[in-house]
Amino acid sequence: MDFRHEWKHRINFFDMLALRSRLRAVMERDKHSIDGKYEVRSLYFDNLEDKALREKIDGVNCREKFRIRYYNGDTGYILLEKKSKLSGLCNKLQTRITVEQAAALTQGDVIGDAPLLSELRMKMTTQGLRARTIVDYIREPFIFPVGNVRVTIDYNIRTGMNCTDFLNPYCVTVPARGAPAILEVKWDEFLPSVIRDVVQVPGTQTSAFSKYAACRVYG
C-alpha cells in the first residue's frame, strides 16, 4: 500500500484569491475540471458509535473511512473509496461502481465482489457501517508532475445533515456551520521547492480539518 504526504490549511476568502492566482502561474489544471473546478458529492459511512468520526476527532494514528462519490452531478461515474491515515500519511483505494450498486450501499446492501466492495461488506457486518451523511463542496484542482503533486482548494462545503439520498440531485443540503475554505497539498516522496513556496499562506498552520466531521455537526 502506497502512502502519500498531505498538508491541510484553513484559509480565508482573500487567501483563496491569492493562492488561486499563484497556483495558476506554476501548475496545470486538472483535465477533468470544468472552468477550473468541479462539484463533488460524497456519502460517508460510519457506525452507530461514530467510529470514523471519533477516531478523527481523537487523532487516532491509524484510521480509515469509506465513502462513495461522483462529480458534477454525473452518476454515470461513481467511485467507492477507502481513505486510510497512518502516522500523518494518507492512502486512498478506489473502485468504480454502478448506480445500482451505489443505491444498494445507501440501503446497507452490497452488490458485487470487487475487493473493496467485499471489504466494505465485511465491515458493514462486523462494525455496523451504514451511510451517514452527504457532503457537497466545490473543488479547484491543480497538478504538478514532478513529485506527483496535487493541490486543491475546497470551499462551499455543504451537508445533507441526516440525508443519505446520495443519487437524488434535489436532496437539500445546507452550509456546514463555520466550515472554512481548505487548501490541501498532497505529494509522494518530495515536494518541489517551487510548490512549497507557492502554497505558503502567512498566519496559517497545518490543520486536521475534516469535511466529514464538519458536516456531522448537525447529527
Domain count, the chain: 1
Amino acid (1-letter code) at residue 118: S
Residue 204 has pLDDT above 80, yes or no: no
pLDDT at 216: 87
pLDDT confidence of residue 195: 97
What is the maximal distance between C-alpha atoms in the chain? 49
Nearby residues of 203 by Cβ (< 8 Å), 6 or more positions away: none
Separation CA 205–CA 195 (nearest Å): 16
Which residue's entry shows cell 446520495?
A: 166
Structure confidence at residue 46 (pLDDT): 97
pLDDT bin (cut points 50, 70, 90) of residue 161 is confident
Report the pLDDT averaged over residues 83-105.
Answer: 95
Cite the DSSP H helix spans in the chain: 13-26, 51-58, 99-106, 115-126, 193-198, 211-215
**Bridge pairing between strands 89-97 and 38-46:** unpaired
pTM of the model: 0.93
Which residues constitute the domain of residue 214?
5-218
The CATH number of whichever domain residue 45 belongs to comes to 3.20.100.30
